[in-house]
A = this chain, B = another copy of it.
């Protein structure tokens, strides 16, 4: 099979971890007799540095022409700490999501038996956790009208949602729940926000189409608590953009294996696969970052974008083998030997 994949390494540790995923994918292609055509393109701070624009048109064309996008990370502190910077790396992320129609971020949180004691939570709290958060990605306050008034002394941001945007995301949630535990939790702040009330009434109206799914409605602050207390009580969660940004990150650390968590962003035009971790600029160029989340994102890509389940499973197997063999980067090594990012990638590729 011919696989056209856009490769967007991004900033910070992005290029290093993406390199390892490419090694693993190429090994898979060799083993399963596929032909991968990688097309690299710039995003984020590296794109700003190159051409002043965090998601250049050229990059967009590469993504549109591809069957799937494998993405690293975006972000550079030199822009974060400058409140007057006109262009920010994260604007590239937002623009990319919008132009590719990436409307749903799919974020699993699960545990690896051998790593469960890395969780900040007690074993009995985290054991059995297997949840997926579906975060709406193209609406809400990150994309609404914003600006200043009163000579810059008043700032505003607007959160807007349409019924269609909510239906599109909720549909994915109901369908995903049907393939799993048949529990769906709609997270909102319907006791205060009008947009949340639209979320709630829209999802309530869809319940009749999925009679087997048990739906609960919970406030975002209550969920922020319960994720720490009883994470294994959730199956599929759906929520709007900002709430999802916060909750998916909170969920990512409870397993103790954040460096290993993959994600997908489902798009109208194409889908994108990326690790959930950030650009981790302090580690950039040091060959110490954990590449497994990117490697597991590539596994999600084989399965979701190309329907290649065996290939995905082969990647997950070799990742589990590397964990069992202790071929891990310093974040997982404990008092044992820590391997370099590139060494882990080489080991995985050789053991496919």
Question: Which residues in A have some Cβ–Cβ distance to B below 8 Å?
Answer: 75, 79-81, 83, 88, 90, 94, 120-122, 125, 141-142, 144, 146-148, 150, 152-164, 189-195, 197-198, 200-201, 204, 217, 220-222, 224-225, 227-229, 242-243, 245-250, 252-254, 258
Instruction: Assess whether B221 is in contact with A245, with CB atoms less than 8 Å apart.
Output: yes
Instruction: Assess whether A222 is in contact with B249, with CB atoms less than 8 Å apart.
Output: yes
Residue of B nearest to A158 (CB): B158
Give chain B residues whose Cβ lies under 8 Å from the Cβ of A228: 120-121, 228, 250, 253-254
A212 to chain B, nearest CB (A): 21
Give chain B residues whose Cβ lies under 8 Å from the Cβ of A245: 189, 220-221
Given A122-B121, A221-B245 in contact, is the A192-B90 Cβ separation under 8 Å?
yes
Most chain B beta carbons < 10 A, residue from A195, A200, A252: A195
Mind listing 5 A-B residue pairs with CB under 8 Å?
A: A75-B191, A153-B198, A154-B163, A156-B194, A224-B224
Instruction: Assess whether B249 is in contact with A224, with CB atoms less than 8 Å apart.
Output: yes
A221 to chain B, nearest CB (A): 4
Instruction: Assess whether A83 is in contact with B225, with CB atoms less than 8 Å apart.
Output: no
Instruction: Assess whether B195 is in contact with A224, with CB atoms less than 8 Å apart.
Output: no
Instruction: Assess whether B194 is in contact with A146, with CB atoms less than 8 Å apart.
Output: yes
Instruction: Assess whether B155 is in contact with A194, with CB atoms less than 8 Å apart.
Output: yes
